[in-house]
Structure 1
Amino acid sequence: MPDTETDRSTRPLLDIGRIYAEPEAAASPRGRQVLDRWPDAEVVEVPSHWQIPELHGNEANVARWVRIKREALVLGVKKSLSARPNGRSTDFIAPSTSNGCAMACAYCYVPRRKGYSNPITVFTNIDKITGYLSRHARRQGPKPQPNQCDPVDWVYDLGENSDCSVDALVSDNVADLVATFRGLPNAKASFATKYVNRELLDLDPQGRTRVRFSLMPAAQAMLLDIRTSPIVARLAAMDDFVAAGYEVQVNFSPVVVVDGWLEAWAELLGQLDDATSAATKAQLACEVIFLTHNDRLHEVNLGWHPQAEQVLWRPELQEPKRSENGMINVRYRWREKQRYLEQFLGLLADRAPWCPVRYAF
């Protein structure tokens, strides 16, 4: 069963008791920093962060889905460094500095690759990653023309497979990334988050890091955004992050179609209006992302959080789509989705005309 609201307020997000570590990662300065944060944790040497049989591929872990996220951590070395072109939310996807998450959103795609467990894996060769990013950004030169990612800068997504706000609880990787982009004149970092980590307010991003707070109606978030910061806390943090020098945007994601969904989103847009200052609204923009689900994740969720599948798995509304990596995803049927999207964008234009849409799908 998922954590209740009481669990969220009384249990720590991380209570690490076991750390699986590649030898090279454990011996590195960043690896030692992580190990020092949990000196009483059992350290288990592993040949690869991808080869941990008791975590990956062990179906029995479904019943311990949340417990593993709270109590286990993995240290690894990122072997392949590349900045993949994106063009939707960002211009490039940066090399990951972590993989997995301590939170347990029921629709998250990351567990689809890792099997039955996905605690945080910290990549400890942060100096190699930041060095690569600096060189890559410099090779791009000035951005030749505005696009939906940004009118001026090249934008790099830092958290494709994780949540940087939570990663910052584990190591200084995120602080190093923010510092790196602070020194790049033609590039900025970007990450989406569902967790309010106020320690990030001290990192002095100087406008070079974009934080995208993910939002959905609060009642739906209670069902689907397990172990995350409540929606009211995310809304309350936005002005503070702007004041601290971040560019703040929002992700309306995922948009899940249920009875009364438009009314619930109208209420959320009113809450966003009330929570944000004129300064925040002046630099705000949004992304709109409708739900995509997956047959394997559906089976996993049935083992630990079947209530979520009542709204996520809707065969009468969805159609299959094969992803680039060969997995079978499901999404809302194309014609109906176009209608849903039109309705949502109309609601947004009516209730929050001060919030432009960078992209929607």
Structure 2
Amino acid sequence: MTPTAPILDVRRIYLEPAVEGHARGREILARFPDAERIPVQSHWRIPDLREGDPEEWLPRKREVLVLGVKKGLQMRPNGRSADFIAASSSNGCAMACAYCYVARRKGHANPITVFVNIDEIGASTARHAQGLGPKREPNQVDPRDWVYDLGENGDLSVDALISDNVRDLVALFRGLHNAKGSFATKWVNPGLLDYDPQGRTRVRMSLMPHGMAKLLDVRTSPVSERIAFIGELHRAGYEVHLNFSPVVLHEGWEAEWTALFEELDDALPAPVKRQLASEVIMLTHNAGLHEVNLAWHPKAETVLWRPDIQEEKQSEVGATNLRYRTGWKGRWLARFKALLAERMPYCRVRYAF
């Protein structure tokens, strides 16, 4: 059997001038002493990352790391997966999911940028939570706590391979009695198990049927490994929810999802089931990403690009996206929820879109 290539093999680090003035920056550089260091004025403006053929994108995700200082520390209201989107400790991702439409301002490879001023990031989150006081009314996000999404633009399980930023965030929420941290992941990182979250961090394990994940979830942990890891995360003290995302409609989708629900029902320990909730997110696509995928992963577009069942719709930020057609989308979503309720009635749907 050919050994699996590591998710990260950092050989080149782009770093802003202030990085080495932060303890976390010095720690990260010490972890990768043999990596080439290239000074840049801004973690956003790196011309090298915008050049090259699509064949170079995946190696760049594995081999390139960007270090910067986070300047904007605002908390953005959300109300869907979380109450607020926290100031991020990173952006970019080592994975290459074909449906991901996160803005790729660094270039389409979009490797991980880690922000080294984690003390400021954590302090801004703590101040915000403390200023809110107790959560007075339950909502679909959480009945008791304010929930902060910590990984909107990346995957913190992989970020944790680079630095102690994620460990520090888990420790922060351990001490906040009115707030939880939350992040979705497609990567199995056993290192998370010794962070001692004490129920104050929610991990949303992202899942889809095995065959679809093999086609679309490029450079992620296999779905079977993610499922097996759910019980371990819960025993380690995390609240664990499921993120069924994206739901990609194609011929046979109902049977595939039913099989996944049956596998989950058989695999999940009883304590996980008692606290389980989920979010369901139907596929959103766009023409720009379609063109990008045609250049490096055209097979993905056979299921992602379906103009026969999709229509254009303006997003909240003014972008033009493709979503499943109004009316039909509601019916398909209702069918999905019915299949889930039939096999996993204990798994409430916290949020569906």
- TM-score norm. by structure 2 comes to 0.98
Q: How many residues align?
A: 353
Match of 2:240 in 1: 248
Native 8 Å contact 2:16 2:42 kept in 1: yes
Distance across 1 between alignment mates of 2:231 and 2:134:
30
Which residue, out of 312, 334, 341, partners 1:349? Answer: 341
Question: Could you report, residue by residue, the CA deviation over 1:318-338 in whole angstroms, capped at 9, with x for unpaired residues?
Answer: 111222333321111111101
Structure 2 counterpart of 1:214: 206
2:47 counterpart of 1:53: yes
| 1:41-91 Cα distance to aligned partner (Å, 9 max, x none) | 1000000001101113x3x34221111100101001111101100001110
For 1:38, the aligned partner's letter is: F
SS class of match (1:79): coil
Note if contact 1:273-1:352 (Cα within 8 Å) is conserved in structure 2.
yes
C-alpha distance in 1 between matches for 2:316 and 2:268: 38
Matched-pair contact (CA < 8 Å) for 2:68–2:113: yes
Which residue of the other structure, out of 82, 85, 93, is the alignment partner of 1:101?
93
Cα deviation code 1:270-293 (max 9, x no counterpart): 011111111010000000000001
Structure 1 runs not aligned, ≥5 long: 1-5
Q: Does residue 293 of structure 1 match 2:271?
A: no
Residue in structure 2 matching 1:307, options 294, 299, 308 = 299
Deviation at 1:36, TM superposition (A): 1.1
Aligned residue number for residue 70 of structure 1? 62
Question: What is aligned with 1:359?
Answer: 351
Q: Could you tell me which residue of structure 1 aligns to residue 173 of structure 2? A: 181
| Cα distance between partner residues in 2 of 1:327 and 1:43 | 36
Following superposition, the deviation at residue 117 of structure 1 comes to 2.1
List aligned pairs for 1:328-343, cutoff 5 A. Answer: 328-343=320-335
Same amino acid, percent of matched pairs = 63
Given that 1:175 and 1:203 are in contact with CA atoms closer than 8 Å, whether structure 2 keeps it comes out as yes
| SS of the residue 2:120 aligns to | helix
Q: Once the 2 structures are TM-superposed, how far is the Cα of residue 94 of structure 1 from its aligned partner?
A: 0.3
Cα deviation for residue 128 of structure 1 reads 0.3
Q: Partner of 1:282 in structure 2? A: 274
Query: Following superposition of structure 1 onto structure 2, how do residues 45-194 of structure 1 map, counting pairs within 5 Å?
Result: 45-56=39-50, 58=51, 60-194=52-186
Of residues 102-111 and 170-179 in structure 1, the stretch that sits farther from structure 2 once superposed is 102-111
Q: Which amino acid aligns with 1:20?
A: Y
8 A contact 1:223–1:308 mirrored in 2: yes
- Aligned to 2:18, the other structure's residue is in SS state helix
CA–CA distance in 2 between the matches of 1:297 and 1:33?
A: 36
Secondary structure of 1:195's partner? coil
State the 1:112 CA deviation.
4.4
Instruction: Give 2:22's aligned residue.
Output: 28
- 1:3 match: none
Structure 1 length-normalised TM: 0.96
**1:53 counterpart letter in structure 2:** P
Higher alpha-carbon deviation: 23-32 or 305-314: 23-32
Amino acid at match of 2:19: A
Following superposition, the deviation at residue 38 of structure 1 comes to: 1.1
Q: Secondary structure at the match of 1:95?
A: coil
Alignment counterpart, residue 42 of structure 1, candidates 26, 36, 41: 36
Contact 1:61–1:116 at 8 Å: present in 2 too? Answer: no
Q: What does residue 19 of structure 1 align with?
A: 13
How large is the Cα RMSD of the aligned pairs?
Answer: 1.2
Q: Distance in 2 between matches of 1:228 and 1:44?
A: 28
Secondary structure, counterpart of 1:10 in structure 2? coil
Displacement of 1:23 in angstroms is 1.1
State whether residues 112 and 296 of structure 1, in contact with CA within 8 Å, keep that contact through their aligned partners in structure 2: no
Q: Which amino acid aligns with 1:46?
A: V
Q: Is the 8 A contact 1:98 1:123 kept in 2?
A: yes
Counterpart CA distance in 2 for 1:150 and 1:232 is 28
Partner-residue secondary structure (3-state), 2:134: coil
SS for the counterpart of 2:240 is strand
Query: Aligned partners of 1:24, 1:96: CA distance in 2, in Å?
Result: 18
Match of 1:262 among 254, 269, 287: 254
Counterpart residue type for residue 282 of structure 1: R
Deviations 1:239-286 (A, max 9, x none): 111111000000010000011000000000001111111101000000
Decide whether the 8 Å contact of 1:188 with 1:209 is kept in 2: yes
CA distance in 2, matches of 1:329, 1:31: 37
Aligned 8 A contact 2:76 2:86 in 1? yes
1:75-114 deviation digits (Å, cap 9, x = unpaired)? 0111110110000111000001000000111111224444
Amino acid in structure 1 at the alignment position of 2:5: R
8 Å contact kept, 2:45–2:106: no
Q: In structure 1, how many angstroms separate the alpha carbons of the residues matched to 2:322 and 2:54?
A: 22
